[in-house]
């Protein structure tokens, strides 16, 4: 997959695109990321990219011309699969949206600054408007990095063991199970015995049940599309809950 980022602050990408799994994926050519300075597409000698809002009001707005020129310079706007405007007003980012984005052969991420981007960029140029959450950042750069890092995990070969992706929270809709590592006892706190007994079927069932337990407690809204097995495990959790209630009362 190829991702082009349009930004006024290319330097914000230097460290994150070099580090860890993402850095390795880019180095190995599994993901191609290019960062372009929007200012390179300004046409006046001051390299102006923003102007005061029509109708008055605070701050500045990013102008159409440099953004249209920047996108059109990238292989012609029609051949780019997804052109994403990062914006707090966009569709909230989810794992499902990332999986969809990771299928695209190429995408452009447009990072806004100031009061945002002239609405005509969104209307005439972008295929998507994405928000990474209900809060306001000073610019779209960190949002773009969130998307790049999360998409990279879904590209074949980036994460060595695909199982670690498929057991992640949200991969199949629910939160992931709790994890433990050595030592087996730390400050009197143990590890569930089933994880140390080597019975893989029992471990798989235990993890699924614990994933459902944590999802039920923290994000019950995610439990809407459960399999038969999940429904059985949820019923089991329900029964255990009522038993422990009865024990407390006794
Ligand atoms: N005035 C805008 C509004 O109220 O919607 C906010 C502009 S914000 C200060 C500047 C830029 O940061 C936006 O154009 C966008 O690119 C980026 N940004 C801010 N919050 C974001 C979020 N939650 N998700 C994605 N991008 C965000």
Claim to verify: residue 79 and residue 191 sit in the same structural domain? no
Claim to verify: residue 140 and residue 27 sit in the same structural domain? yes
Q: What is the pLDDT of residues 156-207, one digit of tens each?
A: 999 988 888 888 999 989 999 999 999 999 999 999 999 999 999 999 999 9
Given the CA of residue 59, which atom of ligand 1 is nearest to it? Answer: 1
Structural domain includes residue 166 = no
Q: What is the pLDDT of residues 66-103, one digit of tens each?
A: 999 999 999 765 688 999 999 999 999 999 999 999 99
Query: Cα(185) to centroid of ligand 1, in Å?
Result: 46
Task: Say how many C-beta atoms besides its own lie within 10 A of residue 19's C-beta.
Answer: 11
Structural domain includes residue 53 = yes
In this structure, the residue with its CA closest to atom 21 of ligand 1 is 88
In this structure, the residue with its CA closest to atom 12 of ligand 1 is 139
Task: Say how many C-beta atoms besides its own lie within 10 A of residue 118's C-beta.
Answer: 20
Task: For residue 58, give the CATH number of its domain.
Answer: 3.40.1280.10
Q: What is the pLDDT of residues 46-59, one digit of tens each?
A: 999 999 999 999 99
The angle at the Cα of 170, spanning 215 to 238, to the nearest 5 degrees, equals 20
Give me the domain span that covers residue 222. Answer: 185-249
Query: Cα(132) to centroid of ligand 1, in Å?
Result: 10
pTM of this structure: 0.94
Ligand 1 site, residue 58, Cβ cutoff 6 A? no
Answer whether residue 244 shows pLDDT above 70.
yes
**pLDDT for 83:** 96
End position of a domain, from candidates 133, 152, 171: 152
DSSP letter string over 202-227? HHHHHHHHHHHHHHHHH-GGGGGS--
**pLDDT for 64:** 98
Structural domain includes residue 168 = no
Structural domain includes residue 240 = yes
Residues marked active site are found at 88, 115, 153, 168
- Overall number of domains in the chain: 2
Task: For residue 191, give the CATH number of its domain.
Answer: 1.10.1270.20
């Amino acid at each position: 997959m190829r991702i082009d980022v349009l930004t006024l602050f290319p330097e914000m990408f230097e460290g994150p695109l070099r580090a860890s799994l993402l850095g390795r994926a880019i180095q190995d050519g599994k993901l191609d990321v290019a960062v372009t300075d929007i200012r390179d597409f300004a046409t006046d000698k001051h390299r102006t990219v923003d102007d005061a809002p029509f109708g008055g009001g605070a701050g500045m707005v990013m102008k159409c011309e440099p953004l249209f020129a920047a996108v059109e310079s990238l292989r012609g706007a029609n051949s780019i699969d997804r052109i994403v405007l990062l914006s707090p007003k966009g569709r909230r980012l989810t794992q499902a949206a990332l999986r969809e984005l990771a299928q695209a052969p190429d995408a452009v991420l447009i990072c806004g600054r100031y009061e945002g981007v002239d609405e005509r960029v969104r209307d005439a140029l972008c295929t998507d408007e994405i928000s990474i959450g209900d809060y306001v950042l000073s610019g779209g750069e960190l949002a773009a990095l969130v998307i790049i890092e999360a998409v990279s995990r879904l590209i074949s070969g980036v994460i060595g063991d695909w199982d670690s992706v498929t057991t992640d929270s949200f991969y199949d809709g629910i939160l992931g199970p709790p994890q433990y590592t050595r030592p087996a006892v730390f400050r009197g706190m143990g590890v569930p015995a089933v994880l140390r007994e080597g019975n893989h079927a029992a471990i798989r069932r235990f993890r699924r049940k614990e994933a459902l337990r944590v999802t039920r407690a923290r994000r019950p809204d995610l439990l809407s599309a459960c399999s038969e097995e999940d429904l059985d495990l949820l019923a089991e959790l329900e029964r255990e809950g009522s038993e422990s209630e009865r024990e407390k009362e006794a």
